[in-house]
Amino acid sequence: MSFHASLGNLSLKQLRAFVCVAESRSFTSAATLLNLSQSAVSLLVRELESELGLKLLDRTTRSVRMTEAGAELHPVAARVLQDLGAAIAGSRELADRRRGRVRFACSPLQSSLLVPRLIGTFKARYPHITIVLRDTPGGEIIDLVASGEVDLALGVLPADTPFVAAEPLLTDDLLLIHPRSYGWGPRRRPTWKDIAAHPFIALGEHNSTRYLVDYHAAQVGVRLTPACEVAFVWTAIGMVDAGLGLSLIPGHARPIVQKFADVAMQPFEPQRIKRPIALMRHRQRTLSPAAEAFADFLRENFPRHDRRTPAARP
């Protein structure tokens, strides 16, 4: 049996009234359940029958029974109402930030040092929101945001782009690390010429810290020729620990450097060179409620101040 009415002419109220009457076998009971008058329920069912061109219910003074057409329509209408109810409930959960999924990108260093505790605190507040963490080299983060592959990202504040909006969260510094065998005490302030006089371990060309280092070195007429070039900050620290040279790395790597007894560290030109770390998102895309919740959380809880470098160990 086929139904000839246009779906656009049917209403959810009509379907709900029909299903309620069919299941309760009573217009009176259906009216009570729907919080409507009996006449309003009868009108909704008659309108549905008129739209379909079919008799759906046989009414007597004692009972209400579905016709053959009504029995065929009932499971379909009930499923539509059930699916719609589930969809509405799910949408409300999303709107209320009770569940969702956030795709978030940041550098491997931030992924290991800054972000895990933040995610842990966030998950305690929003246990059913999933965080998909992309620990990605800094030079690739902006592309992930611009392409829409991630909702939010943390990275060095970029130049203006047509697709990426950036909100500064933290100002980091550059950290000079060198073998303790150099004998540079905490009161000595190495210069660019000091750095150029020693083997320099550089981060990769697309690393934001590398760009910052090269730019400021060029401003004072110093060209740094890397003795070694590495992709990750951990590798640079390990090479310094092996006595292969010195390096300039992000300041928030201090907790890692502290684990290496043979590596000394100190801020490098902290008053002049800063690394602005920003929260980034796509300019033309609306964040989901879950992503908006995570963005708000980062604004409230991201550490705002640089940590001071501990005094050098003797």
The tens digit of pLDDT for each residue in 277-307 reads 899 999 888 888 889 999 999 999 887 544 3
Q: Average pLDDT in the 70-99 region?
A: 73
**Is the pLDDT confidence value at 28 over 90?**
no
DSSP state of 96: T
CB 279 within 8 A of CB 299: yes
CB 133 within 8 A of CB 115: yes
Tens of pLDDT, residue by residue over 35-66, are 888 888 888 888 888 888 888 888 876 778 88
Tens of pLDDT, residue by residue over 266-279, are 988 866 788 888 99
Mean pLDDT of the chain: 84
**What integer pLDDT is reported at residue 304 of this predicted model?**
59
**What integer pLDDT is reported at residue 176 of this predicted model?**
95
**What integer pLDDT is reported at residue 98 of this predicted model?**
64
CB 150 within 8 A of CB 134: yes
Residue 266's CB is within 10 A of a number of other CB atoms, namely 20
pTM above 0.75, yes or no: no
Q: Average pLDDT in the 163-175 region?
A: 88
Q: Average pLDDT in the 181-193 region?
A: 85
**What integer pLDDT is reported at residue 298 of this predicted model?**
93
CB 280 within 8 A of CB 143: no
CB 126 within 8 A of CB 290: yes
Maximal C-alpha separation, the chain: 104
CB 201 within 8 A of CB 244: yes
**What integer pLDDT is reported at residue 96 of this predicted model?**
52
Q: Average pLDDT in the 185-210 region?
A: 88
Sheet strands (E) in the chain: 57-59, 64-66, 100-106, 129-135, 152-156, 164-179, 200-203, 226-230, 247-250, 263-267, 274-282
Side-chain half-sphere CA neighbours of 24 within 13 A: 16
> Which tops the pLDDT comparison, 86 or 104?
104
**Is the pLDDT confidence value at 6 over 60?**
no
Write down all domains in the chain, each with its CATH number in brackets.
7-95 (1.10.10.10), 100-169+276-301 (3.40.190.10), 172-274 (3.40.190.10)
Query: Per-residue confidence at 309, pLDDT binned at 50, 70, 90?
Result: very low
**What integer pLDDT is reported at residue 95 of this predicted model?**
56
Q: Average pLDDT in the 70-86 region?
A: 82
Residue 83's CB is within 10 A of a number of other CB atoms, namely 10
Q: Average pLDDT in the 14-34 region?
A: 86
**What integer pLDDT is reported at residue 311 of this predicted model?**
35
